[in-house]
Copies of this chain bind each other. A is one copy, B any other.
Amino acid sequence: MGNKRIRKNPVRPMRISDIAELAGVSNATVSRVINGFSTVNEDIAQRVRDIIKEVGYVPSQTARSLSLGASETIGVVVPDLSNPMYHEVLRGVHRAAAADGYRVLVADTLEEPRGEAAVALDIRHRTDALVLIAPRMTRPELLALLMRVHPAAVINRTTGENAVVARVDYAAGIQTLADHLRGLGHSRIAFLSGPEQSRSNQDRQRGLEEYRAAHAEVEIIEIPTGSGFDDGHRSWEAVREAGASAVMAFNDLVALGLIGRLAEEGVRVPEDISVAGFDNIPFAQYSSPALTTMAVDLGELGASAWRDLRQEIEGVERREASVFTPVLQVRASTAPYSARLDERIAAHETSA
């Protein structure tokens, strides 16, 4: 209302010495009060606390970190914050670390493998330890980096002995899924593979290779696809051409993209074709039809990474990888192979 507002002092941030002066004590005493150390005279302590609260003083984290050589903060580097895959991992790390009094700072590399190491190094220098979620960089780069950011935890990449590792056993997971489909009578299954450089995609491929060797009766056709909705959406032609009665998508996003397309094409899921995803993202259970997928407890994966990392911070050496095996989550998008299916697919092919 009034037009002469009092402009707050242009934020010349309070320092510890300001508080000390106001309280008529030394910096050290203020510091002790702040950190709850060596029993300071309660009267003085209270006075200091009052002043701090009154003027709203907050210690400079930067100075504190520098002096302590530690910040009670860890950094997490993720390739892409918009990938739901990573959110749960992130939350898992976050929750677990917070419970131990650690702050968490996140850096997104925007899927830019080149800048990844630099970002990691930078954030590591402001924190006490690092969590790298599914780093995209090459293996030599990764190993070189780990040498310099210790202690660090790496999620979903194998490393040398210089970091804690937590990972998902994608090979086993995709085999479980293939087996589910085989059990339903499908013998011609398409696999929509993800990004070529993706380690987790390679794991799935390796798993399927083994599976083929063990089950000659089922044919698994790999269709290079991608990792997003649109990739799944675009894959329809290839799927149709492959004449598969069931498809395993690289992940839930791809599966949902394909399902969306199938709806447009008038192909029914699961009556005409079964579709399964991977990851069990939150939306998977609400899609129509609800998506059969492989579920991993990503939160626990993250929490586990933190626990191991914490050991490292405390100097305990512990270098066994924690491996998480995905669990089959059967929903409505997969169903037994039916004779009608062939007709449908055939009909589509001739009409095309």
State the interface size on chain A (CB cutoff 8 A): 61
Give min CB distance, A11 to chain B, whole Å.
Answer: 5
Which chain B residue lies CB-closest to A60? B125
Which chain B residue lies CB-closest to A123? B105
A91 in contact with B110 (CB, 8 Å) = yes
Asked if A350 CB lies within 8 Å of chain B CBs, one says no
B256 in contact with A125 (CB, 8 Å) = no
Asked if A240 CB lies within 8 Å of chain B CBs, one says no
Contacts of A263 in B (CB 8 A): 288-289
A108 in contact with B82 (CB, 8 Å) = no
Contacts of A104 in B (CB 8 A): 107-108
Copies of this chain in its oligomeric complex: 2
Asked if A233 CB lies within 8 Å of chain B CBs, one says yes
In the assembled complex, the Cα of A266 lies from the Cα of B49 at a distance in Å of 63
Which chain B residue lies CB-closest to A144? B56
State which residues 123-178 of A face B: CB under 8 Å.
Answer: 123, 125-126, 144, 147-148, 150, 161-162
B286 in contact with A283 (CB, 8 Å) = no
Q: Which of B8, B94, B119, B161 contacts A108 (CB 8 A)?
A: B94
Give min CB distance, A73 to chain B, whole Å.
Answer: 8
Q: Given contacts A81-B106, A122-B61, are A260 and B286 in contact (CB under 8 A)?
A: yes
Which chain B residue lies CB-closest to A5? B161
Asked if A46 CB lies within 8 Å of chain B CBs, one says no
Asked if A259 CB lies within 8 Å of chain B CBs, one says yes
In the assembled complex, the Cα of A233 lies from the Cα of B288 at a distance in Å of 12
Contact with B along A255-269 (1 / 0, CB 8 A): 011011001100000
In the assembled complex, the Cα of A106 lies from the Cα of B62 at a distance in Å of 17
Contacts of A264 in B (CB 8 A): 288
In the assembled complex, the Cα of A103 lies from the Cα of B107 at a distance in Å of 9
Contacts of A56 in B (CB 8 A): 144, 147-148
Q: Given contacts A82-B87, A257-B286, are A105 and B106 in contact (CB under 8 A)?
A: yes
Contacts of A144 in B (CB 8 A): 56
A91 in contact with B82 (CB, 8 Å) = yes
